[in-house]
Amino acid sequence: MHSIKLLLFDLDGTIVNSMYDVGDAMNHTYRTFGKKEIPYSHIPAMVGGGIRPLLVDAFGADADIDKIHKVFYDYYAAHYVDKTRPYPQVEETLHRLSHIQKGIYSNKPHRFTLGIIETLALKKHFDFVQGARPELYASKPSPEGILYALNELKIAPKDTLFIGDSTHDILAGKAADTKTCAVTYGYRSKKILLEKQPDFIIDHFSELVEIII
């Protein structure tokens, strides 16, 4: 893999574990609208497509999603880095891979994506940080966001490895013609990830070094 010039990462479930802050925002929203709270363990299966699809799945397409979205968004905006932390060995591994360009591309709104990276002092490791920006590109599994990032960085898809924890990540990477790497410690099971046939699959973030070096 010496030809790889860019490591492009998903955020939630890949670089950081954000399920507790997302879970708190979901339960605040459930309480507000008179629904029963859910345990944190339910959150991983619900996330990956962005906030609005998450709320549609939770409340149904016939619900007043705009009103629900405002309640969720306002709470999350005040608490989105209360409990969110990097996964084990993330910082050490990023440092070991300092010779390669690195970027973030998440389906989380751009404001929160950048805010998490800055608040957790991870920004120094990345050349590019990009969240959901629907005015510019469609969210994953569309390849549009990846291709936008590669155009900004002047890197070819064939020279890129896209790393993520969800089927959306693998599908987006394949559609953009990048190499793909799935991580099993995030929000999806190894079985589900293998069904999408990523080029690589790792159980610990530090295993990236073995792929790249």
Render pLDDT for 137-161 as a digit per residue (tens, 0 to 9): 999 999 999 999 999 999 999 999 9
**pTM above threshold 0.75:** yes
Q: Which domain holds residue 173?
A: 6-17+84-212
At which of 40, 59, 79 does a domain end?
Answer: 79
Is residue 1 assigned to a domain? no
Q: Are residues 198 and 105 in the same domain?
A: yes
Q: Are residues 107 and 170 in the same domain?
A: yes
Read off the pLDDT of each residue in 65-88 and give the average, rounded to a whole number: 97
pLDDT in tens, 87-114: 999 999 999 999 999 999 999 999 999 9
Q: Are residues 196 and 106 in the same domain?
A: yes
Q: Are residues 59 and 93 in the same domain?
A: no
Q: What distances in angstroms separate CA 42 from CA 23, 79, 149, 185, one per listed residue?
A: 8, 19, 31, 15
**What is the DSSP code (8-state) at residue 5?**
-
Q: Are residues 53 and 101 in the same domain?
A: no
Domain count, the chain: 2
pLDDT greater than 80 at residue 2 = no
Read off the pLDDT of each residue in 11-37 and give the average, rounded to a whole number: 97
Question: Is the separation of the CB atoms in 15 and 86 below 8 Å?
Answer: yes
Is residue 141 assigned to a domain? yes
The pLDDT of residue 1 = 62
